[in-house]
Amino acid sequence: MSRIAGIAGSAAGEDGLDRLVESMLAAQVAPTARFDKKIVKAAGPASLGWRGGGEPNVAEFDGVTVVMDGVIFDGLAREGIESDAKNFARRYRQAGMEQTLIEANGDFAMVLWDSRSGEFFLARDRFGIKPLYYTVSDDRLAFASRPAGLLALPFVSRAVNKKFVGLFAGSHYRTFDNDPDASPYTGICQLPAASWLAFRDGQISRGKFWHLEDRGNLAGAEDDLAGRYRDMLIEAVRCRLARAGKPGFTLSGGMDSSSILACAVKACGVKQHAFSSVYQDKTFDESDDIRTILDAAVAKWHQIPIGIPDVFGLVRRMVRAHDEPVATATWLSHYILCKQAAGEDFGGLFGGLGGDELNAGEYEYFFFHFADLKTAGRQDDLAREIEMWVKYHDHPIYRKSRQVAEEVLARVADLKHPGACLGDRKRLDRYADAINKDFFDVRSFQPVMDGPFGSYLKNRTWQDMSRETIPCCLRAEDRNCAEFGLDNYLPFFDYRLVEFMFQIPGTLKFRMGVTKHLLRQAMRGVLPESTRTRIKKTGWNAPAHVWFSGKGMDAVRDMVGSKAFRQRGIYNLPEVQRIIDEHEQIVSTGKVAENHMMFLWQMVNLELWLEDFGLKV
């Protein structure tokens, strides 16, 4: 794990520039992290910095200087013990920036200085697994792996992004990453995934080096496609294992993390260490499901018991590490897990993030598969899939029926335009009344809905990967791991695997009401059958409903009653009080109804971030 920072441009001649970059690096590193090496160096009219563990990923070659956070797994020639930065610099001099980025398969954020052309380049990997932020002020470019690095500079504003605050306060967590250029701070931009930025003489140009294109559907027998998928997933795990030091594996009861773990065992022939959150409240505990893979793939199962944590204390620590409020309560459990893994001297964690999107594992993806079948005129297939969806997935709170399917389809898919997905206003606006309209009108927000494909399912899953669920999850995974000096590895984000899976039709992802069909076929002989064929999906979640009860709810009420909370003017206080009362009544009585834990989690995170950072809205 490492962090980078730097300042380039007209300010480079100022005295003390190196000290500013050192302060930027220090602001991004927790005292508990294993960041034992640091380099700050001049590069033309700039000072560039790197801080991390292991060998510094900094190199000079033929007038090119590269400073990199992350790893390139393959695609660029690796000669002897040359660093990724050195190999990148060498290939850049041969082929230029965009071609080198196209060839690089990795998780990285980087800066490159070309002394011949006088250009600085920033670049970020295809999915934004490694973070990178920047600001331009008075003909100078400053960049850092975290907003904290930029906030350490005297010329960077701490003003918050009001739209971000409004959406975080009163909408679904999917909304606040809809703009890939934005950050929670008005003066700080985020470099989007798969992008580069060039800076010279105070001027900026930008471009993208990778797009996910609609290549149609692959031909071939199902067994052949499953075999290709298995080989690609094992290779994605293998090339990451080759760069990982003492890896651990996060493990839930689902297919995704189990498949990554089992592929690692297949790739190296050695059982691995697995880490799982184990909940005292059984609503989201997956211990029994996890046990089915232990004998086949796990050398030691590290269970992290979580009862009723100190939510406010942990959230305060997390927002300091994240520089922003944290999207969902699951990341609190992950934070505790990372601390234990680092304490046991593991160097990195592998996870199954991205598997739900590639394999259509989210429950809501059923509707977009239904829309594809409906617009294709496949009425018999549609009726059969809905029937089996009801059979396997009906729920006392989230009911399933043909009528429900038709109602949701009308809300989330434009059936007159094949492939056109709509923002789910019921979900987006559920808590709109809790926000003071003078502060931000949640109902006025219209999300950008990308549509590069002719399939509803493909467009919906790409939306999640590029603008909704994945960006905030990638940031949370990065920040939690970095807080404790861990690397993180996510094999489902190997771009070759992603391109392959976006050429797989929905009929090979759903089969008779069961999700992840092709992955299940690919994992035949790799996963234990009880894991491979399990239909039930608990979902990676945390029992925050009980965290916000009893003493936890007392803390929420104290926060809402505080002068600082009320004076911010963000919330409609009577509606917030109604939500709190209703949540408490649902949890205390066991009423069969959807509680408000996600709203409360977002509200607590937002307030503690604003308070802890001393931010004004």
Alpha carbon 290 to its chain's center: 23
8 A C-beta contact, residue 74 and residue 28: no
> Tell me, what amino acid is at 367?
F
137 — pLDDT class (breaks 50, 70, 90)? confident
Please say if the pLDDT value at position 12 is more than 50: no
Question: CB under 8 Å, gap of 24 or more: what pairs does 531-538 form?
Answer: 531/255, 531/258, 531/289, 531/292, 531/293, 532/255, 534/253, 534/255, 534/289, 534/292, 535/392, 536/289, 537/254, 537/361, 537/363, 538/252, 538/253, 538/254, 538/284, 538/286, 538/289
Give me the pLDDT at residue 539, please: 60
349 Cβ contact partners less than 8 Å away, ≥ 6 residues apart: 247, 248, 249, 250, 275, 338, 341, 481, 486, 487, 488, 489
Residue 213's Cβ-count burial label (10 Å; 0-12, 13-18, 19+) is: exposed
Give the number of other Cβ atoms within 10 Å of residue 331's Cβ. Answer: 25
332 — pLDDT class (breaks 50, 70, 90)? very high
Tokens encoding 184: 């929670």
Task: Classify 583 in phi/psi space as left (phi over 0), alpha (psi -120 to 50) or beta.
Answer: alpha
Q: Which fold has domain 222-358+468-532?
A: Rossmann fold (3.40.50)
**H/E stretch holding 521:** helix 517-522
The 8-class DSSP code of residue 433 comes to G
pLDDT tens per residue across span 216-236: 999 999 999 999 999 999 999
Please say if the pLDDT value at position 79 is more than 70: no
Q: How far apart are CA 520 and CA 397, in angstroms?
A: 28
pLDDT tens per residue across span 360-390: 999 999 999 999 999 999 999 999 999 999 9
Q: How far apart are CA 209 and CA 195, in angstroms?
A: 6
Q: Do domains 2-208 and 222-358+468-532 have the same CATH topology?
A: no
Please say if the pLDDT value at position 101 is more than 70: yes
8 A C-beta contact, residue 519 and residue 369: no
Q: How large is the average pLDDT for residues 297-301?
A: 98
Please say if the pLDDT value at position 210 is more than 70: yes
pLDDT tens per residue across span 478-514: 999 999 999 999 999 999 999 999 999 999 999 999 9
pLDDT tens per residue across span 507-563: 999 999 999 999 999 999 999 999 999 987 756 679 999 999 999 999 999 999 999
Give me the pLDDT at residue 14, please: 59
Give me the pLDDT at residue 541, please: 78
pLDDT tens per residue across span 426-445: 999 999 999 999 999 999 99
> Tell me, what amino acid is at 447?
P
Give me the pLDDT at residue 540, please: 64
* Sheet with 58-61: strands ordered across: 58-61, 64-74, 105-114, 119-124, 195-200, 203-208
404 Cβ contact partners less than 8 Å away, ≥ 6 residues apart: none
Q: Can you tell me which residue has the tokens 């610099």? A: 89
pTM equals 0.96
Q: What angle do CA 459, 461, 462 make, to 5 degrees?
A: 65
Least confident of 7-21, 315-329, 581-595: 7-21
For residue 597, the SS3 value is helix
8 A C-beta contact, residue 351 and residue 250: yes
Q: How far apart are CA 169 and CA 149, in angstroms?
A: 25
Q: How far apart are CA 181 and CA 177, in angstroms?
A: 9
Give Rg (Cα) of the chain. Answer: 24
| CATH code matching the domain that covers 2-208, chosen among 3.30.450.70, 3.40.50.620, 3.60.20.10, 3.40.50.300 | 3.60.20.10
139 — pLDDT class (breaks 50, 70, 90)? confident
319 Cβ contact partners less than 8 Å away, ≥ 6 residues apart: 325, 326, 605, 608, 609, 612, 613
Please say if the pLDDT value at position 13 is more than 60: no
Q: Where are the domains of the chain?
A: 2-208, 222-358+468-532, 363-460, 544-612
154 — pLDDT class (breaks 50, 70, 90)? very high
Tokens encoding 97: 């920036």
